Amino acid sequence: MNGLIHPCCHDTAPLPEPESEEEMFDRIFDQIDKLFRVVRPRKCLVLCIDGVAPRSKMNQQRSRRFRAAQERIESNDIANDCADYIVSEHKLPRPQFRERWDHNVITPSTAFMERVGQSIEWFCMKKINEDPEWRNITVVYSDAHVPGEGEHKIMHYIRGLRAQPGYNPRTSHCIHGMDADLICLGLSTHEPNFGILRNKLGDDFQAVPNEFCYFNLTRFREQLKKDFENIKDMDFERVIDDFVFLCFFVGNDFLPHMPLISIKTKGIEAMLDHYVRCFDDNGYLTKRGEVKFDGVKRFLKSFLASKLEVLKKEYDGKKRAADRAKGHVKERVDKCQKEIEYIAESVSSDKATEEERQIASNKLLSLYSTIKKEELRFVAGRFPLTFSYRKPEDRDAYYVAKFGWSTEDRQRFEANVRQCCAEFLRGMQWVMRYYTKGCPSWEWFYPFHYTPLLQDLALNCDSVNVEMKIGEPLHPVEQLLAVLPRQSVSALPEELHEAVEDPKSVLAKFYPDTFEIDFTEANFSYQGIAQLPFINCVKLREACAELVELEEDFGTTLIFAHQKSRVSQELEKLIGTSAASVPLNEHIVRVCPLAGRVARYPNAWPLQARVECPDSGIANYPGGRFSGEIADNQASCFAYELNTHADYLQELLQKPSGKGDGKAIHKARSPGASHAKQQSRDGQRNAKPTKRERSNSPRGSRPSSSSKNHRDETKSSSRVDDRGSKRDDNRRHSDDIKRHSDNHSDRHDDRSSRRDDRSRRDEKRGDKHHRSDRSDRDDGHAQKKHRTESSHGSHAAGPLVRPSPLHSSFSISQMQSPIVLDFSSQPHPGASDFQEPVLIRPKEHHHAGSSNTSDKRGGDDRRRDQGKRRY
């Protein structure tokens, strides 16, 4: 959810920066609603906001927020300087602008995130009550009070499902987010039907609203299998985990990237190529989420022997990459300069009104600010590297420059290198467990800003301590103190403001006024490494305890479902009169993909009562589509406990083939068995005598076998004749339609040709009875589809369109109604059981109007306590 919240609070073109928090909330609601119509979930919608992160993630969060505060100050200074320049040079009125909003408040436990969590909960209630498409959907909602990153909460949810008896392995999952690690996380689930939906990136590498890219992990798995097919007798699921492990060398949110190993230098391609070529010598690198360091040692040594020189040459090509980046910056600057000239010329005459001059001044401010920021963010070549990685002596130079270790005491120097290698390898194990099993330790973090060199890592794989203490997450207020800079003190509870701003307080040492940023290997400023001191959480907790007393704050994951839905009724039946949580059983997971435990929620919204939005700002926001009260609440609410200790299953629960015929665990029925059972039923139905035959037969006697055979032949021939007559009718119908609409004709001819192809294939097999049975079923499906298209006009707008093999891009703004990704776990009529999602046009979406009534019973009684600050 944070990947959705951030763009809604920024100036994402074509929308300007929101003017109020209420406008941000309205954009968040609209974006969730839009994604719902794009993905169109059939059973469950899971919404997860980032809670308190593990300690190893806080280093990155702290760096980002300190730099964001610095950039906000620089941006305001640039705006003021450019405004002065426009007034003096262009003789225009001073541009109108306001200081940038502090985006650092998008952190758990701030007043803003309290409002976000409460408002999204209200939005879910509103949609379930008023939108028919939400009434059969179960919503799982985890806000910022529940510890853990949003995407990893979802991974817990999926791992729990896989371990739950009764889970359907053919369930399709689609996750939305902009993080690159979602690909590795999706692969580590070992789910066969998995996709990632993300916004397309523009030329400025920013997300483009209303334009999405769908990454098909199912096809990606197939492609990886082809790439690794030279490995004899491979366990492909273990190879998938090894692939994820090797990607860690490129860097992630918890470990810095390895020198020489990067995407731009083709380092990951070189590692994967070597993995395949030398698999017989090195073997697998991981097993069920655990790193096999003996295999890693062999792999790294052989990799360095064959690929190190190639990587060094590729690294020298970074100069060419910097030149290309410089060219892109120059193009953007030149484009802005041309627009400035055009605007200045358009308002230079005396005919321009004062309003036009003000609009031109505002546009010029945006353009001048963009030019200044582009020039400042391009840093390639300003801070040259003092070594080249090419010579043997560059090893010492690297550790001296990056770590500040002296080489005078050689023994201590080498001991530092060994410690750095041990911590990095320990970190690789931490990340592998985090991706496959869940957080192995809330307290561990990598205590350096840089990684050791690859050649040192290969020599120090023998003794790695992988024992980790799970610990517990920080309190949300403690995390705020750990990651926020002094410039964002307003986001902290008021009781801590003075202590943070006072340079002599116990908290002062955690907030440096200045810090260095290493740009030596960066092309753009955001690639620099902030040299911030690491937070000592023990001392931070002690300092915080001297100032305030913190209450426990572990939030609750919620389940929302319409009161009349089957899920809600089954949960009510399961919980009964129990005051404690109860485990979800096999029957529940067949109704809706839920695993873990469920209980009654003491702060649930009252059912069958009038309730109003607990946030007065949202309730009174003019033009807000989701601000009206709920007249008669029908949304049930339950407390939900995810199964965070589910076993890691490193295998497919279903072995998919081209037609989806595979065996599934948890007693899932195979498509072949289902088809055979259906044929058996058809045979029994055909053999059963009719009422008239029973009345004409002697009591106690049965129809003779000859009469039965004759009847079967008659039915078979009748079905064949019916099929032929239906085909003739369809052709005549197609001719009639062709005189009126070519589009309808094309679609009908497509259906006819598909049936003809199937008939010819059946005739080759000589299976006439099976052919006639299937023809009847296909005709029934076609009629059903025709009725569906007739009832929903937008469905008839065009044929089904399939995405490209690995990913597909599409735009909502270019279409009359948004296209929808259908991720149903049930097969479409006429489609195979195992298939990729298809793009179809939905029915027109109508927002149910909110009830307007003067009587607001229950509003004040139901206002939740979340409106108060909790810390």
The Cα 509–Cα 856 span in angstroms is 51
pLDDT at 661: 38
Tell me the mean pLDDT in the region 736-764: 47
The domain limits of the chain are: 319-377, 745-760+768-797
Tell me if residue 344 falls in helix, strand or coil. Answer: helix
pLDDT at 12: 67
What element of type H or E holds 174?
A: strand 173-176
151-165, 179-193, 236-250, 758-772: lowest mean pLDDT where?
A: 758-772
Q: Is pLDDT at 586 greater than 70 in this prediction?
A: yes
The Cα 64–Cα 483 span in angstroms is 9
pLDDT at 326: 86
176-185, 558-567, 611-620, 817-826: lowest mean pLDDT where?
A: 817-826
Q: Is pLDDT at 753 greater than 60 in this prediction?
A: no
Length of the chain, in residues = 871
Confidence band (pLDDT; 50, 70, 90) for 187? very high
The two three-digit tokens of residue 660, written as one number = 């989806």
The half-sphere exposure of 52 on its side-chain side, counting CA atoms within 13 A, is 21
Q: Is pLDDT at 862 greater than 80 in this prediction?
A: no
pLDDT at 316: 67
The 10s digit of each residue's pLDDT in 83-105 is 999 999 998 999 988 888 899 99
Tell me the mean pLDDT in the region 592-607: 94
Where does 241-369 show beta strands of DSSP type E? 286-287, 290-291
Confidence band (pLDDT; 50, 70, 90) for 488? very high
**Percent of the chain residues topping a pLDDT of 70:** 73
* Exposed/middle/buried for residue 804 (C-beta within 10 Å: 0-12, 13-18, 19+): exposed
User: What single-letter DSSP state applies at residue 848?
Assistant: P
Q: Contact at 8 Å (CB) between 201 and 219?
A: no
The Cα 99–Cα 108 span in angstroms is 23
Tell me the mean pLDDT in the region 521-533: 89
pLDDT at 523: 86
Helix-, strand-, coil-residue percentages of the chain, each rounded to 5: 50, 10, 40
Tell me the mean pLDDT in the region 314-330: 78
pLDDT at 130: 94
pLDDT at 856: 37
Confidence band (pLDDT; 50, 70, 90) for 369? very high
Query: Residue 300's closest CA among 280, 313, 285, 316?
Result: 285
The mean predicted confidence, pLDDT, of the chain is 78
Confidence band (pLDDT; 50, 70, 90) for 201? confident
pLDDT at 205: 65
| Strand order from edge to edge, sheet including 557-562 | 44-48, 138-142, 557-562, 635-641, 597-600, 582-583
* Exposed/middle/buried for residue 89 (C-beta within 10 Å: 0-12, 13-18, 19+): exposed
The two three-digit tokens of residue 728, written as one number = 């003739």
Question: Alpha-carbon torsion 102, 106, 108, 112, what sign?
Answer: positive
Q: What is the CA radius of gyration of the chain?
A: 32
Confidence band (pLDDT; 50, 70, 90) for 204? low
Tell me which amino acid residue 444 is: W
Q: Contact at 8 Å (CB) between 297 and 458?
A: yes
The Cα 499–Cα 759 span in angstroms is 81
User: What single-letter DSSP state applies at residue 582?
Assistant: E
Higher pLDDT, 835 or 203: 203
pLDDT at 654: 65
Confidence band (pLDDT; 50, 70, 90) for 261? confident
Q: Looking at the DSSP assignment, which residues form a beta bridge with residue 216?
A: 195
Q: Which contacts qualify for 714-723: CB closer than 8 Å, 24 or more apart? A: 715/686, 716/768, 716/769, 716/772, 719/772, 719/773, 719/775, 719/776, 720/768, 720/772, 722/776, 723/772, 723/775, 723/776, 723/779
Give the chain's count of helices (H) and strands (E).
28, 16
Q: Looking at the DSSP assignment, which residues form a beta bridge with residue 838?
A: 822
Q: DSSP letters along 779-828, please? A: HHHHHHHHHHHHHSGGGGGS--BPPPSSEEEEESTTSSS--EEE--SSPP
Higher pLDDT, 379 or 557: 557
The Cα 328–Cα 759 span in angstroms is 57
Higher pLDDT, 312 or 329: 329
Q: Is pLDDT at 678 greater than 70 in this prediction?
A: no
Confidence band (pLDDT; 50, 70, 90) for 564? very high
The Cα 171–Cα 657 span in angstroms is 15
Higher pLDDT, 15 or 158: 158
Q: Is pLDDT at 517 greater than 80 in this prediction?
A: yes
Where does 481-626 show beta strands of DSSP type E? 517-518, 529-530, 557-562, 582-583, 597-600
Tell me which amino acid residue 182 is: L
pLDDT at 758: 53
Q: Is pLDDT at 49 greater than 90 in this prediction?
A: yes
Tell me the mean pLDDT in the region 657-666: 40
Confidence band (pLDDT; 50, 70, 90) for 203? low
- Residues with Cβ < 8 Å from 438, sequence gap 6 or more? 152, 155, 156, 159, 644, 645
Tell me the mean pLDDT in the region 462-472: 90
